[in-house]
Amino acid sequence: MLRTPTTDGARRTRDRVLSSALELFNEGGTAAVSTNHVAAQAGISPGNLYYWFGDKDEIIRELYAQFVAAYERLWGTGGSDPDKVPLDLTPDEVLARLAEGAALTRRYAFLSRDLLGLLHADPALAAEYRAVRERRIAGFTALAHAWRTRGVIRRVDDQTVADLVRALWIVAESWLAFAEIDGVHSGSDHGTRLLRVVLEPYLTPDGGNADLAVDRR
């Protein structure tokens, strides 16, 4: 509150609305939080909020876009195409990134709880979600296929790969909300454990470094 020198002391209001909304949504859920609440939290008038956003759904969409951007920054090659998952990632590296992703999931916790309902109610958000999901599922599927070729995972058929990726996706998007219900909780490694229990049995014992796989344990 001491600094606002830039030409656009402007846009800072918009950002404050977003961060206020995020905070309130995480606490009370999107259904219980009104634009008035958000404006109050941001320290502006309700009218001002409507100068920056058309309605509540637009705020939600923007927060979702922030989440997606952060997530793709986490997974992307860092290069030109932000949608491509690097095909040279090892399972351990993937699990490490998933652990980092847990922090993001926590930061946008309301999405874990409310997103499915919001998608059902807001076609615009649903369209955005579908587009993102399609790209990312494709990226992970490509990685899984690369792993299969290199013998990192077992030689399961394409349908199994597709199902596996989807199961992992569901767990990755939902584990936090389920964990919250239990009250007190383990660190972000709880999510990682759940993902690992799904992925791990598909990994070959040797990680693709030998031709003969023998049953482990």
Partner DNA sequence: GTCTATATAATGATAGAC
Partner DNA sequence: GTCTATCATTATATAGAC
Q: Report the interface residues with its own copies, using CB under 8 A.
A: 28-32, 112-114, 116-117, 119-121, 126, 129-130, 133, 154-156, 159-160, 163-164, 166-167, 169-171, 173-175, 177-178, 180-182, 193-194, 196-198, 201-202, 213-215, 217
- Does 77 bind DNA (CB under 7 A)? Our answer is no
Integer Cα distance of 24 and 39 in angstroms: 11
Q: What residues numbered 170-209 form the site for DNA, per CB under 7 A?
A: none
Instruction: Select the binding partner of residue 187 from DNA, its own copies, none (C-beta < 5 to 8 A, by kind).
Output: none
Residue type, 115: L
Select the residue interacting with DNA from 19, 27, 36, 134 (CB under 7 A): 36
- Does 10 bind DNA (CB under 7 A)? Our answer is yes
Residue type, 129: Y
Integer Cα distance of 163 and 197 in angstroms: 15
Q: What are the angstrom distances between the C-alpha of 9 and each of 2, 12, 13, 15, 129?
A: 12, 6, 7, 11, 32
Instruction: Supply the angle between the helices 9-28 and 109-121 in degrees, to the nearest 10.
Output: 90
State the residues that interact with DNA by CB under 7 A: 8-13, 34-37, 43-48, 50-52, 54-56
